[in-house]
Amino acid sequence: MNTTLVQAKHYVHNPTIKNTRTVRRIIFDTPDTLFVRRVKRGTDVLIASLLTVTILSWLTPLLFIAIKLSSRGPLFFRQQRIGLNGRTFSCLKFRTMRINEHSDIRQASADDKRITRLGLWLRITHIDELPQLFNVLMNDMSIVGPRPHMLYHDELFSSMLPDYRHRHLLKPGITGLAQATGRHGATPDFQSISDRTRLDLFYVRKVSFLLDMKILLRTLFAVKSRA
């Protein structure tokens, strides 16, 4: 195994989530490779800067007008999420829903009445996630990593899955291995969150430049096919 990869020190039991409410339990070393400390951050800043200048610089003013016309409220939706080592940060998105009091505890579903018509399109194309490029530049997030969850769900999932918090050994990402393999949106049951967590833990163990590039390419292909 490549020595730059995060090493798993011990396997408690094999993954059996297809039949039982368990996932593979792994004790991790902290991902402290040269890639994680230097190369990944440099790549994040480069990609985020390029996309901010080439896309967000002209898209943001247009969406400011469109979102304001679609419903009252701010341009951006801000929500506290869990990041690196369990620290909280303010995650940014273009607002896709009408102002409501349940946004911090209730995930949006495909037919959610809170979502505006414009917001639905922004979600389908994942354009609503683009403001997280600012989170990347502020060093709260990475381009690729486990997706951050709202505080309520993070606590819930941690109580369900013993190894869930190992996801926090890396900065959360705008996209991740779970999303690149078609697992995105709401998590309606145990199976869906356990599947995503297993993929996130695999990413934490195997993080590398090549894996990040593969995830980015799969994400771009998936977004293009839905646009």
Nearest of 172, 134, 137, 129 to residue 46 by alpha carbon: 137
User: Which CA distances in Å does 78 have to 97, 151, 174?
Assistant: 12, 13, 15
The pLDDT of residue 100: 72
Q: What is the pLDDT of residue 197?
A: 93
Question: Beta-carbon neighbour count of residue 164 at 10 Å?
Answer: 23
Model's pTM, two decimal places? Answer: 0.81
Instruction: Give me the residue spans of the domains in the chain.
Output: 32-226
pLDDT digits (tens, 9 = 90+) for 136-178: 999 999 999 999 999 988 999 999 998 999 999 999 999 999 8
Residues of the chain predicted below pLDDT 70: 1-32, 101-111, 185, 226-227
* Whole-number pLDDT of residue 108: 60
Residue 49: φ, ψ to 5°: -65, -45
- Within 8 A by CB and 6+ apart from 47, the residues are 136, 143
- Are 119 and 100 within 8 A, CB to CB? no
90, 102, 95: which is closest to 63 by C-alpha?
95
Cβ contact 170:146 at 8 Å: yes
Q: Please report, for residues 47, 62, 100, 157, the alpha-carbon distance to residue 181 in angstroms, rounded to integers and kept in the order given.
A: 21, 31, 31, 20
The pLDDT value recorded for residue 38 is 84
